[in-house]
Structure 1
Amino acid sequence: MAQTQAQQDRLNRVGQFVVTAPMCERLGMKLDPDLPVKAEAALNAETAAWAVAPATVARLKGEAINRQSRMLATDLQSAADGAKTDAQLRDLKHTLLGYGRTCMEASGEPIFSSLIVPPPGFNLETAATELTDSMLEVGGLASWQTPQIQARGDLMMLAGTCRSKIGALRSDALVRQYGQSDDPRVRDYYSKSFDEGLSDPSTIGTLAGCNRAIAAYRARIR
């Protein structure tokens, strides 16, 4: 006997929960380390009562997992690659919020309620913002990376790139003047920017070029 639409929908939904589980963890939820095995066992027990051949159920489960995996990868890649303008940044967060809502639904579902568990006081909006920021921080596009922070990060990169041309004393002075912050996220961003520049001193090959670049970026900082 062929599966019903409701049964097909159920397999798709369970597949969606399984595929989305790693994203739930990135949003701060706790996953059972044996989630795939336990979810499979619970679903097998559920489908055993269906008047559908086990081979058909197995095929449909595999198709559902593959479909949901492709959808997740496509959605995230598209949103992250396009995250340049404010509207596109909001789109990425909206995508993550959508997956977060799926996680919340899973956490209240019989099979997954003990497999995907939000921590006490979990706030999806905050979690989605933090995850969005972590994905965009390297490009200077996180919500907390203001134009001034970005400019200072660029200057820290120059302090690293140009260290061999301008000398350690001047490089260190730039870090002391422009690379400090009371916010740990910002300090880490400045440090990573400096390290990135330090790892590639060939970006600017001359002292004159470094001087021009440093002057230009200092002019952007109030």
Structure 2
Amino acid sequence: MTNRRTLLAVAHGTRSAAGQRQIRDLVAAVARRRPRLDVRLSYADVQHPRIGEVTPGVRDAVVVPLLLSAGYHVRVDIADAVAGTGIPVAATLGPDDVLLASLTRHLPAAADAVVLAAAGSSDPAWRAGIHEMADRLGGAHVAYASGRDRPVSDVVAGLRAGGARRIAIAAYLLADGQFYRTLHRAGADLVTPPLCLDPAVAGLVLRRFETASLTMAAAPL
């Protein structure tokens, strides 16, 4: 009997029941699109099973980070979990035109200013991905939902003081949770929904899986 290929999705993890459900629904949507694929969900933080608990039990697998930008969890947590296993790691979901289209669809054409709100990290690779998406979004103002650097509420307040009357927050967050909910208290006029609610994101997850699979197949022995 031929072993089934495994797509090992790795989410960040959240304590939000709504966010947990949204990530499970995303992974279930991926599985429905590819019924012959063994799709499993693990986490880099907060929830279990952690990625390192799952990798010893899978073969012919590809790890797909359900993360929007590369950073510590990819560079350390996921890298440590696959070290010595030969399991390839796909690219993160962002930046990508699928995410750009999802954000753009929910942004009002009449907005005076758009704030791209991400979780927050000091990792240079992570920040580079965020700024790339902001550039793709027409030069959106970058802000973070955690930490002291460019907090979303401060960026929104600064835009108001500068004369912006209608401010939209492009939520660069995959699922509901503490960070997402702070965006609704930041003083903007509109906040886009979590990205994982867009059905197109399931297709993006599968595309990351297939690209990594082809790269692995083409690698010299």
TM-score category by the smaller chain?
A: under 0.3
Higher normalized strand content (fraction of residues): 2
Q: Which has the higher contact order (CA 8 A, sep 6+)?
A: 2
Who wins on radius of gyration, i.e. which is larger? 1
